[in-house]
Structure 1
Amino acid sequence: MSIDIQHAYNILYPHFQERLCLNEPLVSHCAFGVGGPADIWVTLKSQQELVDLVNLCAEQHWPLLLVGSGRNIIFADAGVRGIVARIDFHHYQINMQTETSALLIVEAGACWDQILDTLLPLGWSGLEFGVGISGTLGAGIVSNAGARNWDLGQILEWIDVLDARGSDSDPDDQFAPATKRHYTRNELDLSYRHSRLRSKRSTVIDDEGKLVFSPRHLIEPPEIVLRLGLHLSYQDSQQLLTQRDIYLRERRQREPSLPLTGPIFKDHQRTSARDLIAQVGLQGQIHGKSQISEQNANYLVNLGGASAEDMLQLIVAAHQQVLRQCGIDLMLNVDLRGEWSHPDQTNPL
């Protein structure tokens, strides 16, 4: 997919102005601290801006990658071609249902910790299991993020999405604008670190250590979470705040303190990815400026100036060693985006 970058920039600038950037370094928008430039970067502050941008990109056949806070993405060293847009709308409201229950209606760009800072002092429980998860709630429901044997799916009632699956039509076909859809919890095929929105979109490492990317859409992802309805229950606020502090201490004990992101792999049903990688002797392994954490082997640490390729080499090595020594095919829990140059792969968007 090709795009006249300057032409697209000139069209978009009157709408976004200082929020629009050419050749934006993605290292600034990635928890791993790696990644080359995005041809065009823009921050979206409202649902309407998202709808308008998606429809314009579909009409013009400009490739568009939508991201949250970048906590679960490794951007390639060559960057991303086309437009990368951050979803940064995060309004919320609490609708009382009974004296002890409420529905939190929250936009997809809201960050987990920021919402908790509001809810817990008010005595609203439901999301505290995710203390320390720094991503957005929109991205969180795509991967059904969770901790402590809880996940978002367990408190979710519904989501609204923008459906842009019709954008992959031939340029000569009639333009079909994206449409909003409403899904209940039971329509999302929620399970461990999975939802229907993530299905067939993950990168796989095959038996030979080669990357196998899923087909990419003109608008990626093709269904974009706009807002969520989450069930809350009332509890004593002081107890909730005390529990938050306990959870934070526990997380700091098991996660590295250096710049990092993770977990890299999903846990296997029989044992954790952390234990498997340690078992094959790769805990603390270094490649370039990247390291498999000595504290938790399912995390990567950027030692300062790491490249995406440094991290990819460690990811592939961990996958291959666990596969050969333990017979377990670990599945990636992070997304690889951009123009990767790994041997024998098919490049994604």
Structure 2
Amino acid sequence: MMSFDVQHAYAALQPYFQARIHLNEPLASHSAFGVGGPADVWVTLEKQQELIDLVNMCAEHRWPLLLVGEGRNILFADAGVRGIVARIDFHHYQIEMQTETSALLIVEAGARWAQILDKLLPLGWSGLEFGVGIPGTLGAGIVSNAGAHNWDLGHILKWIEVLDARGCNSEPEDQFAPASIRCYTRDELDLGHRQSRFRVERSTFIDHEGKLVCPPRRLIEPPEIVLLLGLRLSYRDSQQLLTQRDRFLRERRLNEPPLPHTGPIFKDPEGGSARELIERVGLRGQVHGQAQITEQNANYLANLGGARAEDMVRLIIAAHQQVRKQCGTDLTLNVDLLGEWSHSG
């Protein structure tokens, strides 16, 4: 692990971020699962320029930096995260008319699904309504190509703008290149089911022995950070859209546990259902410590109160191994495991 002088970094950054920077921030309060140890330094970013400046400053000083959104798909380790963790919280948007019945939504990566839908649907702008009830941000959504109802962000994406910090991760240290902004079209992103090329190198998987295999931590993580999305919209009757929103919400409530601190575990395999496979091997309702594979949906984990990340990982591995053994399916994680994981099996 790279060395990191916490006090030096905090002293250098505090004048810029003031009340938005914290030492030893508990990450459990920034994860849907409600677990995770401390981040050495926590920063909230409210403008794109703050992100650009922070990335370049971290590259220059060799401070490890992890960028996150709402933490809806993240399981932070009990040991926390060494270095700086920065939350992307810029969320402005604009609608550019193309024709009388079509438009382009230009939206910053930190915008939340619910926030944008509350604005678009009453105006009759269609395109994102499949995401009713999806938590988190649109920036994180395109990394995982989030979707529902046989639709996903890739269907309406035209382009994205990213901060390319790959040069900041270069070795030796004196050869790093400053971060730069670049644009990608939809076809350059290798979008698939809950997948994009941004996610491939960051994925944790479980090997045949039941051990976690985590990707190596780089200085700036992720090395390409989504800043802006261009999404296609079309005009529909607003009342129809609002009616559809209500129906989607009802369907979601039937399938999601009504518990705080919960989230999905695995991607559905092609032509199958992770939920049904976990139920088939008899693990619905299984408890480890204060973590549970929920009764309502066996592809969801819940924190019953005071769970540790380790408890959740034990259940994740048990589900993965039993499904592989009994059903012959190698389930793929739909959560990102971040921080100081030591194993695990």
Task: Please give the range of the TM-score, normalised by the shorter of the 2 chains.
Answer: over 0.9
Question: Equivalences for 1:81-96 in 2 at 5 Å?
Answer: 81-96=82-97
Question: Equivalences for 1:219-238 in 2 at 5 Å?
Answer: 219-238=220-239
Q: Distance in 1 between matches of 2:133 and 2:248?
A: 8
Letter in 2 for 1:118: K
Conserved in 2, the CA contact under 8 Å of 1:260 and 1:302? yes
Q: Distance in 2 between matches of 1:186 and 1:169?
A: 27
Letter in 1 for 2:237: D
Deviation for aligned residue 1:175: 3.9
Q: Distance in 1 between matches of 2:114 and 2:261?
A: 17
Letter in 1 for 2:6: I
Q: Distance in 2 between matches of 1:259 and 1:314?
A: 18
Q: Distance in 1 between matches of 2:134 and 2:261?
A: 12
Deviation for aligned residue 1:273: 0.3
Conserved in 2, the CA contact under 8 Å of 1:72 and 1:261? no
Query: Given the alignment of the two structures, is residue 46 of structure 1 paired with residue 47 of structure 2, yes or no?
Result: yes
Write the deviation string for residues 155-185 of structure 1: whole angstroms up to 9, x where unpaired.
0000000000112223542441001010000
Match of 2:187 in 1: 186
Deviation for aligned residue 1:343: 4.0
User: How has the CA–CA distance of structure 1 residues 270 and 175 changed in structure 2, closer, same or farther, with 3 Å as cutoff?
Assistant: closer
Match of 1:271 in 2: 272
Conserved in 1, the CA contact under 8 Å of 2:169 and 2:176? no
State percent identity of aligned pairs.
76
Match of 1:2 in 2: 3
Letter in 2 for 1:61: R
Write the deviation string for residues 200-241 of structure 1: whole angstroms up to 9, x where unpaired.
210010001101112222100000000100000001111111
Secondary structure of the 1:216 match is coil
Secondary structure of the 2:85 match is strand
Q: Distance in 2 between matches of 1:319 and 1:97?
A: 47
Q: Gaps spanning 5+ residues in structure 2: where?
A: none
Q: Distance in 2 between matches of 1:343 and 1:35?
A: 16
Question: Equivalences for 1:110-259 in 2 at 5 Å?
Answer: 110-170=111-171, 172-259=173-260
Query: Given the alignment of the two structures, is residue 108 of structure 1 paired with residue 102 of structure 2, yes or no?
Result: no
Secondary structure of the 1:257 match is coil
Match of 2:38 in 1: 37
Match of 1:301 in 2: 302
User: How has the CA–CA distance of structure 1 residues 205 and 172 changed in structure 2, closer, same or farther, with 3 Å as cutoff?
Assistant: closer
Letter in 1 for 2:123: L
Q: Gaps spanning 5+ residues in structure 1: where?
A: 345-349
Conserved in 2, the CA contact under 8 Å of 1:261 and 1:299? yes
Conserved in 2, the CA contact under 8 Å of 1:163 and 1:222? yes
Match of 2:334 in 1: 333
Conserved in 2, the CA contact under 8 Å of 1:124 and 1:235? yes
Secondary structure of the 2:245 match is helix
Write the deviation string for residues 111-148 of structure 1: whole angstroms up to 9, x where unpaired.
00110000000000000001000110000000000000
Q: Distance in 2 between matches of 1:195 and 1:170?
A: 26
Deviation for aligned residue 1:340: 1.4
Q: Distance in 1 between matches of 2:211 and 2:317?
A: 8
Write the deviation string for residues 66-90 of structure 1: whole angstroms up to 9, x where unpaired.
0000000000011000000000000
Deviation for aligned residue 1:272: 0.5
Q: Distance in 2 between matches of 1:254 and 1:19?
A: 36
Conserved in 1, the CA contact under 8 Å of 2:79 and 2:339? yes
Q: Distance in 2 between matches of 1:24 and 1:155?
A: 36
Letter in 2 for 1:74: L
Secondary structure of the 2:15 match is helix
Q: Distance in 2 between matches of 1:266 and 1:111?
A: 22
Write the deviation string for residues 23-46 of structure 1: whole angstroms up to 9, x where unpaired.
000011011000000000000000
Match of 1:321 in 2: 322
Letter in 2 for 1:181: R
Q: Normalising by the residue count of structure 2, what TM-score does the alignment of the two structures yield?
A: 0.98
Q: Distance in 2 between matches of 1:262 and 1:29?
A: 13
Q: Distance in 2 between matches of 1:93 and 1:299?
A: 35
Conserved in 1, the CA contact under 8 Å of 2:213 and 2:343? no
Match of 2:281 in 1: 280
Q: Normalising by the residue count of structure 1, what TM-score does the alignment of the two structures yield?
A: 0.97
Q: Give the paired residue count.
A: 344
Query: Given the alignment of the two structures, is residue 24 of structure 1 paired with residue 25 of structure 2, yes or no?
Result: yes
Query: Given the alignment of the two structures, is residue 77 of structure 1 paired with residue 78 of structure 2, yes or no?
Result: yes
